[in-house]
Amino acid sequence: MSSDVALQLLTPDGTLVRNDRTSEYLPLIEALDEKRLGDFYRQMAVIRRFDVEAGNLQRQGQLALWIPSIGQEASQVGSGYAAQPQDHIFPAYREHVVGRIRGLDPMRIIEMLRGLSHGGWVPSETGNFHLYTLVIGSQSLHATGYAMGIALDKLNGNASGAADPKQGAAVLVYFGDGASSQGDVSEAFTFAASYQTPQVFFLQNNQWAISVPVERQSRTPLYLRGEGFGIPSIQIDGNDVLASYAATSAALAAARGGQGPRLIEALTYRMGAHTSSDDPTKYRENEQVAYWAARDPIARYETYLRAQGVGDDFFAEVATEAEDLAADVRTRTLALQDPPSTKIFAHVYSEPHPLMDAEAAWLAAYEESLDESVAAE
């Protein structure tokens, strides 16, 4: 699981790595102001507390399912902050903090996993953070098509009418080690390379596809897959938020600059279960869990910040913010109402459809008849 080739800017003990290779990336970190460096920590710590609260809500019967992201915060926060406002982000289903960075209210994720919606947020209102996709790897093709559209806008004179074509935009798509075995992901690589799309494939290799280890998905390091398709690829230490930010920034800049797609394989670890329905003690060893616990992305970055002179006040403030969010999420979850039954038929089609009208009318009459029979008793 450790790798000699993975780009690392911050060692597990929180020391900045300065060598020939990192010299290309360190200026991207040095350009960040103190606030943004603090935001990296803030987002990682707050989302972990949110993750714990949501897991508790699931155990208490308030959610049908929870999908924890604990352990993957550095991969997600670094790459999420690397995206520019005009970029479009296609998540898998575990990138809660990327959504939060882009402006998504985490309650939308809660609502989805409580069974109130299938997502339903509007990407133009959530910083171009698109909906979660549960069929593994399917979103890779949507992302590639979107990136083809950005490229075609330029060639066809912005035929799509999309905003700010001259500003340049790129697409960032998340998927995992398991998804890398899906045909859709290989087809996305093929189309992206063929049409030289402005996009970055961000592969979070969290070592496990539910119970199947990454060794079963691939005999080669996954970043080499990209090279085989003609996509320049890099492997990074995914528990290093600075490496994630710098590598993704560089890759997105290349994509925006017309250099075609890039692939980043971020080596990380799903410290918790796949979902609340999973039991990882059935398939993985304590030794491995301990190995990765010693590489916790948040602890590493806290050590670095403290060495930079960030004091207790900051960490106390973030802890308070995390507790406040957790309490707020709990309060708002307990207040959620079930949707009306008319939601079943809404937006199946964009234009009128006789079957929808007929079935909605039937259900309304049926429900009314039930109300009447109750009233009669």
Partner 1 sequence: MIEQLTMAKAINLGLQKALADDPRVLMMGEDIGTLGGVFRVTEGLKAEFGEDRVLDTPLAESAIVGTAIGLAMRGYRPVCEIQFDGFIYPGFDQITSQLAKLTYRHEGALQFPVVIRVPYGGHIGAVEHHQESPEAYFAHTPGLRVVSPATPQDGYWMIQQAIASNDPVMFFEPKSRYWQKGEVDREVAPGEFQASRVVRAGTDVTLVGHGAMVSALLQAADIAADEGTSAEVIDLRSLSPIDYGPILASVQKTGRIVVAQEAPGAVSVGSEIAATVAERAFYSLEAPVLRVSGFDTPFPPAKLEGVYLPDADRILEAVDRALAY
Give me the active site residues, please.
Answer: 270, 274, 283
- For residue 15 the two structure tokens come to 């020391």
* CB nearer partner 1, residue 61 or residue 352: 352
State the DSSP string of 82-126: HS-TT-EEE--S--HHHHHHHT--THHHHHHHHTS-S----GGGT
The residue (of 149 and 221) whose beta carbon lies closer to partner 1 is 149
CB of 214 to partner 1, least distance (A): 23
Entry field: residues in the chain = 377
CB 6 within 8 A of CB 235: yes
Task: Give one word for 116, left, alpha or beta, with left for phi > 0 and alpha for psi -120 to 50.
Answer: alpha
Taking the C-alpha atoms of residue 253 and residue 244, their distance in angstroms, rounded to an integer, is 14
Q: Which tokens sit at 20?
A: 């020939």
For partner 1, which is the closer residue by CB, 156 or 211? 156
Residues sharing a CB contact under 8 Å with residue 155, sequence separation 6 or more, in sequence order: none
DSSP H helical segments within 26-66, as ranges? 26-30, 34-59
In whole angstroms, the minimum distance from the beta carbon of 200 to partner 1 comes to: 15
Q: Among residues 108 and 274, whose Cβ is nearest to partner 1? A: 108
Q: Closest separation between CB of residue 138 and partner 1, Å?
A: 6
Output the CA torsion sign for 323, 326, 329, 331. Answer: negative
* Six-digit token string for 17: 């790595």
Least Cβ distance, residue 152 to partner 1 (angstroms)? 6
Cβ of residue 250: shortest distance to partner 1, in angstroms? 24
Closest CA to 272 of 86, 118, 51: 51
CB of 226 or CB of 272, closer to partner 1:
226
For partner 1, the binding residues (CB under 8 A) are: 117-120, 122-124, 130-131, 133, 135, 138, 140-150, 152-153, 155-157, 159-162, 183-184, 187-188, 190-191, 194, 346-351, 353-355
Q: Is 281 exposed, middle or buried (0-12, 13-18, 19+ CB in 10 A)?
A: exposed
Q: In the bound complex, what is the minimum distance in angstroms from residue 146's beta carbon to partner 1?
A: 4
Shortest spacing between CB 17 and partner 1, in angstroms: 37
Here the tokens at position 251 are 């890759």
Residue 72 is which amino acid? Q
DSSP code at position 133: -
Identify which of residues 319 and 348 has a Cβ nearer to partner 1 in the complex: 348
* Distance separating alpha carbons of residues 199 and 203, to the nearest angstrom: 13
DSSP string, 152-169: HHHHTTSTT--S-TTT--
Q: Which is nearer to partner 1, 8 or 140 (CB)?
A: 140
